[in-house]
Structures are given as C-alpha cells and as structure tokens.
Amino acid sequence: MLSLSEKQIRSSFINASMRERKAITLPENFDALDWDNREFLGWRDAKLPLVGYVVTVLDDAPVGIMFRKTEGRIRNRPQCSWCEDVDLPNDVVFFNAKKGGQAGRDGDTIGILVCAEFECPANVRMMKSLPYIGFDREAEILRRIGVLREHVLNFARRVRDGE
C-alpha cells in the first residue's frame, strides 16, 4: 500500500462529514506503520469505541471508509468477509458503513462482518500448518493476500458508488 500522510488520510473519507474527518483519531503507531505489508490501513478510534476506519487505494487514489460497530451480539463464531480466515486469533464483528454520495446522505448503509480490529493483513500472512506434504504455503499466502485485496477494493467501490 502507498504510504499516506495524515492530511491524505483525513481527506480520503468518502462517507464522513468534515466535522467527522477532523475528529478522527489516527492509530497510535501511525508514524511507524509498515505500509509495505498491508492491503489497507484499518483501526478503531481510541476515543469512540464503536467507530472504526479503513483507508485503501482504489483507482490510484486513497479512499477512506468510516465504520460503526453494531451493538448486538453475534451468536456463532462468524468468518471475516475480507480475510476469510476460519482460525482467527481475534473476534469478528458486524460493522455498518454509510454509503458515499447522496445514498449515504439519505441514510443508506452497507453491513459487513470484519475482524474487530481490522487485523486482516496480518491474518492472511500467518503461516498455517501444513495440510498435506508438498503444499506450497508461500503460494497460499500470496493467494490469500490477493483475495483480501479484491474483497476490500470491492467493498470500497460499493461504498463509493453508493451501491
């Protein structure tokens, strides 16, 4: 992923008001982020526990999405819609994101099950146990990275285009 400045991140949000953009709390370790090993930057707001943010690069431009965690409980252990990991070391929660443009201003949202702290880039890079002799772990990790990138970009497109 491209290295982004605070200004680029704040201006990238397509479903947040100017007031919401200014109030965004960046991740604690923002200055030390490893931009090369992530398909998106995702974090939860330290001041607003129900709010999360994701920034990715779509069509060569940064696109930020503001999420709101639902307060309901999920009865079964769900699978993350982005990293598709079934052996997650973390929780998966349901988030809503306002759509971009007029649809979002009209109150339309898109819901998705995602890792609670947006740990997907780390999850897809974890080495799994060998399912069978000769299994190519490195190829599987590259495949999972590609799938994650595709899922995140498709979701960002849907939010941006108000679909």
Give the mean pLDDT of the chain: 88
| pLDDT for residue 53 | 96
* Cα(17)–Cα(20) distance, integer angstroms: 5
* Cα(20)–Cα(50) distance, integer angstroms: 14
> pLDDT tens, 14-31?
999 999 999 999 988 888
> pLDDT tens, 102-149?
888 888 999 999 998 999 998 888 877 777 777 788 888 899 999 999
* Cα(120)–Cα(43) distance, integer angstroms: 11
